[in-house]
Structure 1
Amino acid sequence: MARLAGTGDEFRSAAVLFADFNREYDDPVPDVDVMTGHLARLVDGGDTSVLLAGDPAVALAIVRFRTATWADETEAYVAELYVAPDSRNQGLGRRFLTDVLDHCRTRGATYVDLNTSEDDEAARHLYESFGFDCHEGRGEGPLAIYYEKQL
């Protein structure tokens, strides 16, 4: 179901979905043309995968890969995961996340992290149903808190 974006049209579809995602959550909306080129450059750099689902695309995942700090292993960070509102509540998110995690394993990842807002209960429910936990130590420690700062 999920496919890797690799053409200009696919990166443009991803950029449109990314803009829709930001618009839905009242975040700054990137210029679609700029984002199209940016996504292509990220993928060309080798540490990012952009996945789409649907024809036309109605789901987007942007996954960044990095070498772990404590071990010679690959970690994956699901930077963005979005399903268009009209395609929700049909099982697409569950199938898409399954494919995204399979892709992470294919790329050699042994660990995946992501974040979402506290009020996005649907996303939290989906992630928790897959075994994601919001506690340090892979489920055994205190509540993990995500911080961010513009530099």
Structure 2
Amino acid sequence: MSDPTEVPVVRATSADAAVVGRLLWDFNEEFSFDGPGADEFAGRFASLLDGDDVVVLLTGSRDDPSGFAFLTLRPTPYYDGPLAQLEELYVKPHLRDRGLGTALLRAAVDLVRSRRGGEIHINVDEVDADTRRFYERNGFTNIQPGEDYRMLCYLREL
């Protein structure tokens, strides 16, 4: 396992849209999620990555990254900075358990802190025990301290 503090993490730019699109597609394929293809994702990331409210962090080389963290940031009256949503965090399967995911998550937390954000939200499938343990090990909780009920996430496809 690598020391997560020594794993290089860089912010993706629109020039990285193709590799980011491929990583998101790989993530969706691994978990059997139907969605756009890698090229369609790349086209969308080409414009999204030029803004300030979508951030993708990469580890590994820019041409062949080993993983990524995809965050969206939105204004909120609750904090001076944004509320962040960690949309996806993905490390290629053969490179897991080397501290890469931890490095990406720490870099994401540091980025949100540097923007004076107050919270990061993450949605995790309840049955995905390994992922839940990963986030809990890194300071995230499914319930607020002192509470005894689970927080639920509702959605409606449009």
Which of 7, 19, 33 is the matching residue for 2:25? 19
- Structure 1, unaligned runs of 5 or more: none
Separation in structure 2 between the aligned mates of residue 111 and residue 60 of structure 1, nearest angstrom: 20
- Structure 2, unaligned runs of 5 or more: 1-7
Letter in 2 for 1:52: L
| Further displaced range: 32-41 or 12-21 | 32-41
| Structure 1 match to 2:121 | 113
Separation in structure 1 between the aligned mates of residue 79 and residue 13 of structure 2, nearest angstrom: 30
State the Cα deviation string for residues 89-141 of structure 1 (Å, max 9, x = none). 12221122111211221232121111111122221111001111111xx3333
Which of 1, 7, 10 is the matching residue for 1:3? 10
| Structure 2 match to 1:133 | 141
Separation in structure 2 between the aligned mates of residue 105 and residue 70 of structure 1, nearest angstrom: 14
1:148 aligns with 2:155: yes
* 1:59–1:70 Cα change, 3 Å: same
Q: CA deviation at 1:3?
A: 0.8
Letter in 2 for 1:80: E
1:44 aligns with 2:50: yes
| Structure 2 match to 1:93 | 101
Letter in 2 for 1:59: G
Letter in 2 for 1:127: Y
Q: Normalized against structure 2, the TM-score is what?
A: 0.85
State the Cα deviation string for residues 41-69 of structure 1 (Å, max 9, x = none). 22223211011111220111110111224
Q: Normalized against structure 1, the TM-score is what?
A: 0.89
CA RMSD of aligned residues (A): 1.6
Q: CA deviation at 1:70?
A: 3.5
Letter in 1 for 2:73: F
Letter in 1 for 2:51: G
Tell me if structure 1 keeps the 8 A contact 2:49–2:56. yes
Greater RCO structure (CA 8 Å; 6+ sep): 2
Separation in structure 1 between the aligned mates of residue 80 and residue 96 of structure 2, nearest angstrom: 37
| Paired residues, number | 148
Which of 83, 89, 93 is the matching residue for 1:81? 89
Separation in structure 1 between the aligned mates of residue 86 and residue 80 of structure 2, nearest angstrom: 20
Tell me if structure 2 keeps the 8 A contact 1:2–1:100. no
Separation in structure 2 between the aligned mates of residue 71 and residue 105 of structure 1, nearest angstrom: 11
